[in-house]
């Protein structure tokens, strides 16, 4: 497990041992007597909370490493009202005569409004609004246009 402990050990505070391992004398269990076993069990009961805390810390560390690896290539795109952007073209908006050499971006467009965290309302250069909002994943930044707000 990623915690370094078995589930049985975290729940019950002891190691799960098969009866066949106890019956066949080995070095690990051969020297164990009843008194030594009781002492070890009482020690395990005292340290089970420590084992659980260590397991929680290791699990949190593991989850953080997985999240960092997953988010390594995530780039958050934020735009402001008045920014000039390009919009990604899709198969239904491409010119079918030039599919192989078609442009992957179309525009330029202006951002008219910010809708939510990553959605934007666009308009063309002649201020005709695009009918629906667009996600930031499908937009590419060109430049900031401050004068657009005053036109």
Give pLDDT tens digits for 45-66. Answer: 777 788 888 889 999 999 999 9
Instruction: Label residue 67 by pLDDT band (50, 70, 90).
Output: very high
Rounding to the nearest 10 degrees, give the CA dihedral for residues 104, 110, 111, 113.
-140
Model pLDDT for residues 17-53, shown as the tens digit of each residue? 667 766 666 666 666 666 776 777 777 777 778 888 8
H or E stretch at 120: strand 119-123
Buried b (16+ CB within 10 A) or exposed e, 87-111: bbbeeeeeeeeeeeeeeeeebbbbb
Q: What mean pLDDT is reported for the chain?
A: 78
CA dihedral (132, 134, 135, 137) in degrees, to 10, reads 150
The whole-model pTM stands at 0.47
* Percentage of residues in the chain having pLDDT higher than 70: 70
Residue-level pLDDT at 148:
47
Dihedrals φ, ψ of 119, to 5°?
-115, 145
Total H helices, total E strands in the chain: 4, 5
pLDDT at position 32 is 64
């Amino acid at each position: 497990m990623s915690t370094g402990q078995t589930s049985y050990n975290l729940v019950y505070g002891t190691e799960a041992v098969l009866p066949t391992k106890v019956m066949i004398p080995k070095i690990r269990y051969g020297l164990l007597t009843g008194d030594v076993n009781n002492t070890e069990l009482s020690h395990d009961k005292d340290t089970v909370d420590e084992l659980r805390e260590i397991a929680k810390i290791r699990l949190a560390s593991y989850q953080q490493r997985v999240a960092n690896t997953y988010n390594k290539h995530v780039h958050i795109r934020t735009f402001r009202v008045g920014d000039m952007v390009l919009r990604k073209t899709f198969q239904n908006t491409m010119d079918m005569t030039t599919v192989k050499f078609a442009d992957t971006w179309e525009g330029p467009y202006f951002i008219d409004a910010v809708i939510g965290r990553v959605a934007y309302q666009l308009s063309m250069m002649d201020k005709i609004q695009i009918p629906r909002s667009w996600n930031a994943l499908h937009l590419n930044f060109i430049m900031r246009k401050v004068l657009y707000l005053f036109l």
